[in-house]
A and B are shown apart, each in its own frame.
Chain A
């Protein structure tokens, strides 16, 4: 396999909170190849945004990151100083937030901001930067782009702003784009358009994409590889086919039973549920993080540290004491959370 664009091993993030140390992200490992899309999926509070922010080195001051390996295109991110890191942001790696106004400045025209995003990192003339801005705005589906350069963010709808944000991300042809819930605030119709666009651009520019979402539908449709996150850990990783067609971890199985699927779920029938709440992440959790909500929990689940173990197929892993055979049996019998 070719060298990955991003290689992460045992990434952890601890956050200091009044009651102690909140272990927001715990020893997650993954890599992303060129042109590949990794989706990180999980419910609110599981650590998705903190993971993204830690890669961008944009963590809150109270947070501390550690990792055994953190390589972007072979370059060790953990050894970089903030100045060098800020050279990379928007350049080799760029981030799209749920709310585009997080990154767009209301006081400047969109043309201005797009051009500036390029001039900060590249030695280009004003007209070169402008031409690229127009080219990319058109690429992201904004018609009459040259005439719109003078518009301000507030003059655009949410969907258009997110398109501008994507164009801005692409100004310096980043090797990696991190998108954190990029379509969560948008209507389903606009969501489909934006995701379609991201997939097209990824293919055209061979960009690698880490897409973070709580929406399993999005994940199934855009991911090459999937990481299911629960309480700071990856609990299942694999290709989209493996995770959706043969979910192994009781949490993944439970999540997939919770959502109604038109044409598949019997209309009006009871949906699956995962009773209980996410454990408190302050302090060290013993055993399986899902134990307090798992329908298959037994004594062995509650002690030690569980490692990711291989499922039946290569590159498919899950974190649970149950054997692959037992997991497959649970999936078939429908006894899940």
Chain B
């Protein structure tokens, strides 16, 4: 049963970019027509190369950026019309950089209780106790309550960001590259913590990462983005085992698992990521696509519903054919 907590309909966000001295500004379609549901209780993974629009989409969900067009509903309410404080009560972010996202002049305790203050929590006498409780839960010793961010390690700072996000029991947490700045031994601890907290509080996550192994491990469903669009979306198992879009296939090929003897694959992704101000015609992936056909540069590809999800590619115009390829794991 579909029970969406976030519903995006044809959402776009355009930035006007100066293209040099005295020249007219040009539109950059950072998010270019995204329709997407985030279902209650799921972990929706969003992957794609840098610049494809992941953070822009996240910032719109958080109400930090208004869509140029389209609508976003949060728990049934239109984001934008909803009160900012109301949004913050439902939805909290965790960002990549635990260094810059924490105010260096505030103590750890004050940073963590900030949402209570901002959301005008009516019981200030409970704040200290609740802060200590959440610190305990995310594995921060309460003795760092009066310390400053600079006195903590990277992993501890990310725990602070997680504690701050969770202190007022939001329903949804948007994690934008939450472990990308961390060493793997710390990353695994943070990922484990996110899993535990999800079980404990029944949270819904939107997890943005360029690390496909992390997405595969954490997500229940995955959306693949390319140049501002979702080009494929499916349940995690299906997407990794039978990727349909040629871009998804190339992305999965690029994952270097720690298995010796396999070498570095040739992804056949010839050209570099295109300039988003001047995107290729038709299917914007066509200059890099290994399966490119005559119609690809000419026509925008259809959005095809497939079992468990969707794919946007001319290969599947006649329905979801047999063109999906077995994941490379099974190939070998």
**Interface residues, chain A, CB within 8 Å of chain B?**
43-44, 157, 159-160, 187-193, 195-196, 199, 214-223, 239-241, 244-245, 254-265, 267-268, 270-275, 277, 337
Contacts and interface: CB of A to CB of B under 8 A. Distances in A.
13 contacts: A157-B273, A189-B251, A189-B267, A191-B256, A216-B184, A217-B213, A244-B260, A255-B184, A255-B185, A260-B217, A267-B236, A270-B192, A273-B192
Nearest to A142: B272
Nearest to B52: A187
A217 B256 contact: yes
Contacts, number: 144
B62 to A, nearest CB: 24
B103 interface: no
Contact of A217 (B50, B210, B257, B267): B257
Interface in B235-290: 236-237, 240, 250-251, 253-267, 269, 272-273
Contacts of B153: 277
Contact of A189 (B49, B195, B257): B49
Contacts of B251: 188-189
B269 A43 contact: no
A119 B302 CA distance: 54
Contact of A262 (B185, B210, B257): B257
Contact of A192 (B254, B258, B272): B254
Contact of B183 (A44, A159, A190, A240): A44
A255 B191 CA distance: 15
A192 B267 contact: yes
Contact of B269 (A193, A222, A254, A267): A193
A159 B272 contact: yes
Interface string B200-232: 000000000011111011100000000000000
Query: What 10 pairs across the A-B complex have the smallest Cβ distances?
Result: A260-B217, A217-B256, A258-B188, A271-B188, A240-B260, A274-B185, A263-B329, A43-B183, A192-B254, A220-B258
Given A189-B250, A259-B213, A260-B213, A215 B188 contact: no
A188 B189 CA distance: 23
A222 B264 CA distance: 7
A60 to B, nearest CB: 22
Nearest to B199: A268
A188 B255 contact: yes
B256 A262 contact: no
B212 A188 contact: yes
A219 B212 contact: no
Nearest to A259: B184
Contacts of A215: 256
A221 B272 contact: no
A261 B261 CA distance: 16
Nearest to A46: B183
Given A217-B258, A220-B260, A275-B189, 8 more contacts: A193-B269, A199-B263, A214-B184, A244-B260, A255-B184, A267-B217, A271-B188, A271-B191
A127 B264 CA distance: 35
A244 B254 CA distance: 20
B257 A261 contact: yes
B107 interface: no
Contacts of B263: 199, 221-222
Contacts of B236: 267
B272 A157 contact: yes
B222 to A, nearest CB: 12
A100 B152 CA distance: 30
A220 B195 contact: no
B216 A244 contact: no
Contact of B212 (A160, A245, A262): A262
A274 B258 CA distance: 18
A187 B264 contact: no
